[in-house]
Chains A and B, each alone.
Chain A
Amino acid sequence: MVNALYDANERDAAQRRSSGAIGVDPRKFHRVDYKGRHFDVQGPLDVPPLPQGRPVQFQAGQSDPGITVGARYAEVVYTSQPKLEDAIAFGRANGLSFIMNSFHSVIGESDADVARRLKEKHERIDYEQGRLKLADMLGGEIDLSDLPLDKPLPETLLPEVSSVNRRRGRVDVFRRYAQQGLTLRELIIHA
Protein backbone atom coordinates (compact mmCIF):
# COMPACT_ATOMS: atom_id res chain seq x y z
CA MET A 1 0.00 0.00 0.00
CA VAL A 2 2.80 2.39 0.88
CA ASN A 3 4.58 1.60 -2.37
CA ALA A 4 1.39 2.05 -4.39
CA LEU A 5 0.83 5.50 -2.87
CA TYR A 6 4.36 6.70 -3.57
CA ASP A 7 4.38 5.23 -7.08
CA ALA A 8 1.03 6.72 -8.13
CA ASN A 9 2.08 10.38 -8.22
CA GLU A 10 4.28 11.67 -11.02
CA ARG A 11 7.67 13.01 -10.02
CA ASP A 12 6.98 16.51 -11.30
CA ALA A 13 3.53 16.76 -9.72
CA ALA A 14 4.80 19.38 -7.30
CA GLN A 15 7.69 21.67 -8.16
CA ARG A 16 9.26 24.65 -6.57
CA ARG A 17 8.91 27.74 -8.77
CA SER A 18 11.61 30.37 -9.10
CA SER A 19 9.56 32.61 -6.81
CA GLY A 20 9.99 30.00 -4.08
CA ALA A 21 6.33 28.99 -4.11
CA ILE A 22 5.43 25.37 -4.74
CA GLY A 23 3.41 24.74 -7.90
CA VAL A 24 1.10 21.75 -7.82
CA ASP A 25 -0.33 20.07 -10.91
CA PRO A 26 -3.41 18.15 -9.76
CA ARG A 27 -3.48 16.09 -12.99
CA LYS A 28 -0.20 14.50 -11.98
CA PHE A 29 -1.51 13.22 -8.66
CA HIS A 30 -3.25 9.90 -9.10
CA ARG A 31 -5.77 8.27 -6.86
CA VAL A 32 -5.23 4.96 -5.19
CA ASP A 33 -8.59 3.46 -4.39
CA TYR A 34 -8.01 0.29 -2.53
CA LYS A 35 -10.44 -1.83 -0.58
CA GLY A 36 -8.98 -4.87 1.05
CA ARG A 37 -9.42 -7.10 4.02
CA HIS A 38 -7.41 -4.88 6.34
CA PHE A 39 -7.24 -1.50 4.65
CA ASP A 40 -9.46 0.92 2.80
CA VAL A 41 -7.27 3.60 1.25
CA GLN A 42 -8.57 6.44 -0.86
CA GLY A 43 -7.12 9.28 -2.78
CA PRO A 44 -3.69 10.41 -3.82
CA LEU A 45 -0.83 10.68 -1.38
CA ASP A 46 -0.79 14.35 -0.38
CA VAL A 47 2.94 14.85 0.00
CA PRO A 48 5.29 16.18 -2.70
CA PRO A 49 6.87 13.35 -4.73
CA LEU A 50 10.34 12.46 -3.48
CA PRO A 51 13.44 12.80 -5.67
CA GLN A 52 14.23 9.17 -4.91
CA GLY A 53 10.74 7.86 -5.73
CA ARG A 54 10.12 5.70 -2.72
CA PRO A 55 11.49 6.62 0.65
CA VAL A 56 13.91 4.21 2.30
CA GLN A 57 11.69 1.67 4.00
CA PHE A 58 12.33 0.72 7.58
CA GLN A 59 10.85 -2.03 9.67
CA ALA A 60 10.85 -1.99 13.44
CA GLY A 61 9.22 -4.38 15.87
CA GLN A 62 10.17 -7.85 17.02
CA SER A 63 6.86 -9.70 16.65
CA ASP A 64 6.82 -12.65 14.23
CA PRO A 65 4.50 -10.91 11.73
CA GLY A 66 6.66 -7.77 11.98
CA ILE A 67 9.82 -9.73 11.25
CA THR A 68 8.13 -11.46 8.29
CA VAL A 69 7.09 -8.13 6.79
CA GLY A 70 10.61 -6.82 7.43
CA ALA A 71 12.24 -9.74 5.64
CA ARG A 72 9.99 -9.17 2.60
CA TYR A 73 9.92 -5.39 2.17
CA ALA A 74 12.32 -3.56 4.43
CA GLU A 75 15.53 -2.01 3.22
CA VAL A 76 16.61 -1.21 6.77
CA VAL A 77 15.58 -3.24 9.80
CA TYR A 78 15.68 -1.47 13.12
CA THR A 79 16.47 -3.88 15.89
CA SER A 80 17.86 -4.15 19.38
CA GLN A 81 20.03 -6.93 20.74
CA PRO A 82 21.60 -5.75 23.95
CA LYS A 83 24.37 -8.35 23.99
CA LEU A 84 26.92 -8.59 21.21
CA GLU A 85 27.09 -12.42 21.41
CA ASP A 86 23.30 -12.68 21.00
CA ALA A 87 23.35 -10.32 18.05
CA ILE A 88 26.11 -12.32 16.32
CA ALA A 89 24.22 -15.58 16.99
CA PHE A 90 21.04 -13.99 15.59
CA GLY A 91 22.81 -12.94 12.41
CA ARG A 92 21.26 -11.44 9.31
CA ALA A 93 18.51 -12.66 7.03
CA ASN A 94 19.52 -13.38 3.45
CA GLY A 95 19.20 -10.35 1.23
CA LEU A 96 18.55 -7.93 4.07
CA SER A 97 20.22 -4.68 3.10
CA PHE A 98 20.85 -2.96 6.37
CA ILE A 99 20.57 -3.39 10.11
CA MET A 100 20.08 -0.26 12.16
CA ASN A 101 20.63 0.40 15.83
CA SER A 102 20.01 3.36 18.01
CA PHE A 103 23.30 4.39 19.62
CA HIS A 104 22.89 5.94 23.05
CA SER A 105 26.21 7.04 24.37
CA VAL A 106 27.86 8.82 27.22
CA ILE A 107 31.14 10.13 25.84
CA GLY A 108 34.01 11.34 27.96
CA GLU A 109 37.56 12.43 27.34
CA SER A 110 39.15 9.80 29.60
CA ASP A 111 38.08 6.80 31.68
CA ALA A 112 37.82 9.04 34.77
CA ASP A 113 35.77 11.59 32.85
CA VAL A 114 33.42 8.84 31.58
CA ALA A 115 32.97 7.52 35.15
CA ARG A 116 32.21 11.03 36.44
CA ARG A 117 29.64 11.66 33.70
CA LEU A 118 27.95 8.31 34.30
CA LYS A 119 27.76 9.00 38.04
CA GLU A 120 26.21 12.42 37.42
CA LYS A 121 23.75 10.95 34.95
CA HIS A 122 22.66 8.29 37.45
CA GLU A 123 22.28 10.87 40.21
CA ARG A 124 19.88 12.86 38.06
CA ILE A 125 17.51 9.91 37.63
CA ASP A 126 14.12 10.21 39.32
CA TYR A 127 13.71 6.67 40.61
CA GLU A 128 10.00 7.05 41.38
CA GLN A 129 9.37 7.94 37.72
CA GLY A 130 11.84 5.21 36.84
CA ARG A 131 9.72 2.55 38.56
CA LEU A 132 6.79 3.49 36.33
CA LYS A 133 8.92 3.60 33.21
CA LEU A 134 10.43 0.18 33.93
CA ALA A 135 6.98 -1.31 34.65
CA ASP A 136 5.92 0.03 31.24
CA MET A 137 8.99 -1.52 29.60
CA LEU A 138 7.91 -4.83 31.13
CA GLY A 139 4.45 -4.69 29.60
CA GLY A 140 2.73 -2.23 31.95
CA GLU A 141 0.82 -4.75 34.05
CA ILE A 142 3.17 -4.97 37.03
CA ASP A 143 3.55 -2.79 40.11
CA LEU A 144 7.12 -1.95 41.13
CA SER A 145 6.27 0.86 43.56
CA ASP A 146 7.09 -0.95 46.81
CA LEU A 147 10.12 -3.01 45.80
CA PRO A 148 13.61 -2.27 47.20
CA LEU A 149 15.90 -0.49 44.72
CA ASP A 150 18.99 -2.54 45.46
CA LYS A 151 17.59 -6.05 45.07
CA PRO A 152 16.82 -8.04 41.92
CA LEU A 153 13.18 -8.33 40.88
CA PRO A 154 11.37 -11.48 42.03
CA GLU A 155 11.25 -13.91 39.10
CA THR A 156 7.52 -14.47 39.65
CA LEU A 157 6.83 -10.82 38.85
CA LEU A 158 8.21 -11.02 35.32
CA PRO A 159 5.56 -11.42 32.62
CA GLU A 160 5.83 -14.05 29.91
CA VAL A 161 6.73 -12.25 26.69
CA SER A 162 3.85 -14.00 24.90
CA SER A 163 1.36 -12.54 27.41
CA VAL A 164 2.21 -8.97 26.36
CA ASN A 165 0.69 -7.57 23.21
CA ARG A 166 2.94 -4.58 22.56
CA ARG A 167 6.64 -3.90 22.17
CA ARG A 168 7.58 -7.49 22.88
CA GLY A 169 11.18 -7.00 21.87
CA ARG A 170 11.61 -4.51 24.67
CA VAL A 171 9.83 -6.71 27.20
CA ASP A 172 12.15 -9.55 26.22
CA VAL A 173 15.24 -7.37 26.64
CA PHE A 174 14.24 -6.23 30.14
CA ARG A 175 13.10 -9.70 31.14
CA ARG A 176 16.54 -11.01 30.29
CA TYR A 177 18.23 -8.20 32.21
CA ALA A 178 16.07 -8.99 35.25
CA GLN A 179 16.85 -12.69 35.00
CA GLN A 180 20.56 -11.89 34.97
CA GLY A 181 20.02 -10.53 38.48
CA LEU A 182 20.22 -6.80 37.82
CA THR A 183 18.80 -4.82 40.73
CA LEU A 184 15.75 -2.60 40.37
CA ARG A 185 18.07 0.44 40.45
CA GLU A 186 20.23 -0.97 37.63
CA LEU A 187 17.16 -1.85 35.59
CA ILE A 188 15.81 1.69 35.98
CA ILE A 189 19.17 3.06 34.80
CA HIS A 190 18.81 0.89 31.66
CA ALA A 191 15.16 1.83 31.10
Chain B
Amino acid sequence: MAGTPEQLADAIEERYRHGILDVLSLHGFGNPDQEDLLVNGLLPELRRRATIDTDCLGDDFRSNLELPSASVAEMRKTA
Protein backbone atom coordinates (compact mmCIF):
# COMPACT_ATOMS: atom_id res chain seq x y z
CA MET B 1 0.00 0.00 0.00
CA ALA B 2 1.31 3.43 -0.82
CA GLY B 3 0.25 6.79 0.54
CA THR B 4 0.72 9.57 3.03
CA PRO B 5 0.48 8.71 6.75
CA GLU B 6 -3.13 9.99 6.73
CA GLN B 7 -4.09 7.84 3.71
CA LEU B 8 -2.48 4.73 5.20
CA ALA B 9 -4.19 5.38 8.55
CA ASP B 10 -7.51 5.63 6.66
CA ALA B 11 -6.90 2.23 5.08
CA ILE B 12 -5.92 0.60 8.38
CA GLU B 13 -8.86 2.19 10.20
CA GLU B 14 -11.34 1.06 7.53
CA ARG B 15 -10.23 -2.57 7.95
CA TYR B 16 -10.25 -2.30 11.73
CA ARG B 17 -13.79 -0.83 11.73
CA HIS B 18 -14.99 -3.68 9.52
CA GLY B 19 -13.69 -6.11 12.12
CA ILE B 20 -11.25 -7.86 9.79
CA LEU B 21 -7.96 -6.61 11.19
CA ASP B 22 -6.55 -6.50 14.71
CA VAL B 23 -2.80 -7.04 14.58
CA LEU B 24 -0.33 -5.57 12.09
CA SER B 25 3.33 -6.13 11.47
CA LEU B 26 4.93 -3.02 9.99
CA HIS B 27 7.68 -3.24 7.41
CA GLY B 28 10.19 -0.60 6.48
CA PHE B 29 12.19 -0.33 9.70
CA GLY B 30 15.86 -0.20 8.86
CA ASN B 31 15.24 2.12 5.96
CA PRO B 32 15.86 5.39 7.87
CA ASP B 33 13.56 7.51 5.80
CA GLN B 34 10.61 5.08 5.83
CA GLU B 35 11.25 4.40 9.52
CA ASP B 36 10.92 8.11 10.23
CA LEU B 37 7.60 8.27 8.37
CA LEU B 38 6.34 5.17 10.20
CA VAL B 39 7.41 6.28 13.67
CA ASN B 40 6.76 10.00 13.34
CA GLY B 41 3.99 9.91 10.72
CA LEU B 42 1.81 6.80 10.70
CA LEU B 43 1.95 5.81 14.39
CA PRO B 44 1.11 9.30 15.77
CA GLU B 45 -1.73 9.52 13.23
CA LEU B 46 -3.16 6.19 14.46
CA ARG B 47 -2.76 7.31 18.08
CA ARG B 48 -4.48 10.61 17.34
CA ARG B 49 -7.46 8.61 16.05
CA ALA B 50 -7.31 6.29 19.09
CA THR B 51 -6.98 3.32 16.70
CA ILE B 52 -3.93 2.22 18.70
CA ASP B 53 -2.99 2.81 22.32
CA THR B 54 -0.38 5.31 23.41
CA ASP B 55 1.51 2.80 25.55
CA CYS B 56 1.89 -0.92 26.21
CA LEU B 57 -0.72 -2.43 28.54
CA GLY B 58 1.49 -5.06 30.13
CA ASP B 59 4.94 -6.58 30.23
CA ASP B 60 4.48 -9.27 27.62
CA PHE B 61 2.85 -9.80 24.26
CA ARG B 62 -0.02 -11.85 25.69
CA SER B 63 -1.07 -9.12 28.09
CA ASN B 64 -0.65 -6.44 25.44
CA LEU B 65 -3.16 -8.31 23.29
CA GLU B 66 -5.37 -8.69 26.39
CA LEU B 67 -5.44 -12.44 25.89
CA PRO B 68 -6.21 -14.54 28.97
CA SER B 69 -3.09 -15.62 30.85
CA ALA B 70 -4.27 -18.68 32.73
CA SER B 71 -1.90 -20.26 35.19
CA VAL B 72 -0.15 -23.40 34.02
CA ALA B 73 -2.41 -25.49 36.26
CA GLU B 74 -5.52 -23.95 34.71
CA MET B 75 -4.07 -24.37 31.26
CA ARG B 76 -3.47 -28.06 31.92
CA LYS B 77 -7.17 -28.56 32.53
CA THR B 78 -8.03 -27.06 29.15
CA ALA B 79 -5.12 -28.60 27.22
Residues of A participating in the B interface, judged by any CB pair closer than 8 Å: 3-4, 7, 10-11, 50-56, 75-76, 81, 84, 87-88, 90-92, 97-111, 113-114, 117-118
Contacts and interface: CB of A to CB of B under 8 A. Distances in A.
Interface of B: 1-5, 7-8, 12, 14-15, 18-28, 34, 37-38, 41-42, 59-63, 65, 67, 69-72, 75-76, 79
B19 A92 contact: yes
Contacts of A7: 72, 75-76, 79
Contact of A109 (B15, B18, B37, B63): B37
Contacts of A118: 2
Query: For the complex, would chain B's binding face be called helix, strand, loop or mixed by DSSP majority?
Result: mixed
Contacts, number: 123
B67 A105 contact: no
B79 A108 contact: no
Nearest to B25: A102
Given A3-B79, A56-B61, A98-B65, A109 B4 contact: yes
Nearest to A121: B2
B26 A103 contact: yes
B56 to A, nearest CB: 13
B65 A107 contact: no
Contact of A84 (B15, B34, B65, B67): B15
Nearest to B14: A84
Given A105-B26, A114-B2, A117-B2, A97 B72 contact: no
